[in-house]
């Protein structure tokens, strides 16, 4: 995805905030969420729309998708960050003075949201990894397997 002026401003805002602010406030959190949405589906959107368009899901989420309708799929899944937002903020704070907006964009691209079942989300939280861990410890070590769908869920779901 090409970085437009809006995305560039958001990325530069994050770098500037990381240089001068110790805590992640709501403005930073929302900016990170918007950038995460763009990285995942190419635009900003609400939770349900992301679930309908996000091709990065788990095997169990795909099974749920194929067994139910899109509304039930959306109600029983979570858009999860394989690298928690707090860790991304910590990374930004640690490297703020050397990062370019492209570095930050690549970080969001490299850690795109994955749609998981609520049961899988519960396992991640039960493991104590609400704001820590990586894709290996948060997913594979917990027998949660991410996959990439050929088409968005909205195209694959039972009609």
Looking at the chain, the number of H-run helices and the number of E-run strands are 10, 4
Query: What global pTM score does this model have?
Result: 0.93
Q: How far apart are CA 89 and CA 84, in angstroms?
A: 9
Mean pLDDT of all residues in the chain?
95
Per DSSP, the three-state class of 83 is: coil
Name which of 143, 132, 85, 149 is nearest 111 in CA terms.
85
Residue pLDDT, tens place only, 35-52: 999 999 999 999 999 999
CB 51 within 8 A of CB 92: no
pLDDT for the residue numbered 55: 97
CB 157 within 8 A of CB 69: yes
Residue pLDDT, tens place only, 133-154: 889 999 999 999 999 999 999 9
Residue pLDDT, tens place only, 74-129: 999 999 999 999 999 999 999 999 999 999 999 999 999 999 999 999 999 999 99
Residue 128 phi, psi dihedral angles, 5° rounding? 85, 20
């Amino acid at each position: 995805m090409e970085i437009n002026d809006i995305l560039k401003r958001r990325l530069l805002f994050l770098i500037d905030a990381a240089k001068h602010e110790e805590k992640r406030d709501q403005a930073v959190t929302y900016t990170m969420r918007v950038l995460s949405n763009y990285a995942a589906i190419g635009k900003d959107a609400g939770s349900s729309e992301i679930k309908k368009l996000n091709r990065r899901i788990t095997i169990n989420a795909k099974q749920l998708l194929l067994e139910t309708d899109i509304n039930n799929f959306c109600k029983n899944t979570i858009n999860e960050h394989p690298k928690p937002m707090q860790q991304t903020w910590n990374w930004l704070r640690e490297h703020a003075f050397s990062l370019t907006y492209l570095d930050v964009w690549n970080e969001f691209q490299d850690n795109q949201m994955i749609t998981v079942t609520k049961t899988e989300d519960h396992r991640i939280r039960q493991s104590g990894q609400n704001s820590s861990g990586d894709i290996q410890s948060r997913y594979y070590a917990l027998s949660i397997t991410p996959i990439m769908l050929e088409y968005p869920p909205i195209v694959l779901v039972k009609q």
